[in-house]
Amino acid sequence: MRYISTRGEAPTLAFSDALLAGLARDGGLYVPEAYPALAPADIARLAGHSYAEVAGRVIAPFVDGAFAPAVLAPMLEEAYATFRHVATTPLVQIAPNRFVLELFHGPTLAFKDVAMQLLGRMMDHVLTERDARATIVGATSGDTGSAAIEAFRGRARTDVFILYPAGRVSEVQRRQMTTVDDANVHAIAVEGTFDDCQAHVKTLFNDHGFRDRLALAGVNSINWARIVAQVVYYFYAGVALGAPHRPVSFVVPTGNFGDILAGYVAKQMGLPVARLAIATNVNDILARTLATGRYEVTGVKPSSSPSMDIEVSSNFERLLFDAHDRDAGAVRGLMASLAQSGSFSPRNEALAAIRAEFDAGRADEAETAATIARVRAETGYLLDPHTAVAVAVAEKLKHDPKVPQVVLSTAHPAKFPDAVEKACGERPALPPHLADLMERPERTPTLPNDIAAIRAYIEAHARIAADAA
């Protein structure tokens, strides 16, 4: 399997190079040359297998050559042994034919652990084989950062620099990043939004001198390996609910579009997905795009689901690439328009193709809080605010009642105790391994929203730079 850039001007790479590259050198995102297919019989054979075993079969065609089955299988066993649930990502029914897919049983209580626990091991393996090191630079609205820090802390071959928007993540999210004292971990508060942090990361990748000097690697969902690892739970849940013999729909709380893109990839591979629904909070740029045909940045508003407070939705570029029949020139034009004017309009046929695959809806702050309170009162189930956005949208969508509808639950409610308590009067407790989180000392520099300051900080603290000096 080879990987090509959505902007068509970067070298084509094998999986392990795409894994270390993060952003393509032309500013685009890597995608496979073609999506591998799983025949209905192959999908049926996933039934009854453990999460790690299903992952082995779904991931294998993407990594061919780079990770032999004898290497990948133990890596997957080890990665998912860090999860606190025997099913890794269990399904819980909350209404007739509506299920919550709990993706938050990993070490940092969010769906990011599913991919990051594997990514950490894969990168370490490739770096060890090459006797190389890397400097990971990532942006987070709260969850990617802690998952990346947990996956890479203490690793000799990687330094991790995570940029998060100061004051715009929950206290639990911040502390999960800032209380880790391993020398290779740097959680940096930036006086800006997540979109600013993500733009800074992309600027650093596009500075080829800096990128090469520090051997930059990315762990955001710009990294294709993140998407691949997330494809697995669509198959795992789909098969548990009757695929390939019956279709399944998914409703996904969405920000950077990585999670729902993984569902789209699962569908391209052959999983019978009836509908994929994008659920947004008040930062509803994607829902507006599907409704109006115009992608238009209007300014991020802080919400009770802060991890989705995103307007520049990175992975939408991968969907645009497919929807424009893989015309890299068209994607370059749209992205140039976004950079210049904060907006773009996909071609009519592309928009029609997107609308044919996806539904979209938004839930405002009052709807999100009311959903947490009502679902708790009616079913006893406690939703985190991100999952509540998706449940609220699921309830509003037109949906075939015979098709199972799976709402992806992306975070544990205890990551957002203030929002949950405000909504339903109940303060969820952190699991035992994080019980003393609020007492642990924090370590986090605050930097201005300025690329020069961020570049200088990373250069001054990256071990690769120090060793080269």
Ligand X SMILES: Cc1ncc(COP(=O)(O)O)c(C=O)c1O
Q: Active-site positions? A: 112
Residue 250 structure tokens? 């998914």
Rounded CA separation 110/106 (Å): 7
Instruction: Write each residue from 250 to 289 as x if it is in contact with ligand LJ64HWYM (CB under 6 A), else as -, in one continuous string.
Output: -----xx-x-------------------------------
The reply to whether 368 sits near ligand X by the rule CB under 6 A is: no
Residues that bind ligand X (rule: CB under 6 A) add up to a total of 16
Cβ of 304: how many Cβ atoms within 10 Å?
Answer: 24
Asked if residues 88 and 118 have their Cβ atoms less than 8 Å apart, the reply is no
Distances (CA, A) of 80 to 61, 76, 96, 126, 263: 20, 6, 30, 20, 20
Instruction: Write each residue from 402 to 421 as x if it is in contact with ligand X (CB under 6 A), else as -, in one continuous string.
Output: --------xx----------
| Strands, E assignment, 184-319 | 185-190, 216-217, 248-253, 273-280, 295-296
Length of the chain: 469
Is 6 or 140 the residue whose CB approaches ligand LJ64HWYM more closely?
140
The reply to whether 143 sits near ligand LJ64HWYM by the rule CB under 6 A is: yes
The reply to whether 110 sits near ligand X by the rule CB under 6 A is: yes
DSSP at 3: E
Instruction: Write each residue from 190 to 229 as x if it is in contact with ligand LJ64HWYM (CB under 6 A), else as -, in one continuous string.
Output: ------------------------------xx--------
Residues that bind ligand LJ64HWYM (rule: CB under 6 A) add up to a total of 13
Question: Largest Cα–Cα distance of the chain, in whole Å?
Answer: 64
Which range of residues in 100-108, 141-149, 333-341, 347-355 is near ligand LJ64HWYM by CB under 6 A?
Answer: 141-149
The reply to whether 307 sits near ligand X by the rule CB under 6 A is: yes
Is 240 or 261 the residue whose CB approaches ligand LJ64HWYM more closely?
261
Contacts 24+ apart (CB under 8 A), 262-267: 262/227, 262/228, 262/230, 262/231, 262/233, 262/234, 263/231, 263/234, 264/319, 264/357, 264/358, 265/35, 265/227, 265/228, 265/231, 266/231, 266/234, 266/235, 266/238, 267/357
Peptide bond into 74 cis (omega under 30): no
Rounded CA separation 126/318 (Å): 25
Closest CA to 314 of 261, 393, 386: 261
Is 223 or 410 the residue whose CB approaches ligand X more closely?
410
Minimum separation from the CB atom of position 221 to ligand LJ64HWYM (A) = 3
Restricted to residues 252-291, the positions that interact with ligand X (CB under 6 A) are: 253-259
One residue of 29, 52, 308, 393 binding ligand X per CB under 6 A: 308
The reply to whether 142 sits near ligand LJ64HWYM by the rule CB under 6 A is: yes
Binding site for ligand LJ64HWYM (CB under 6 A): 140-145, 220-221, 255-256, 258, 307, 314
Binding site for ligand X (CB under 6 A): 110, 141, 143, 221, 253-259, 307-308, 386, 410-411
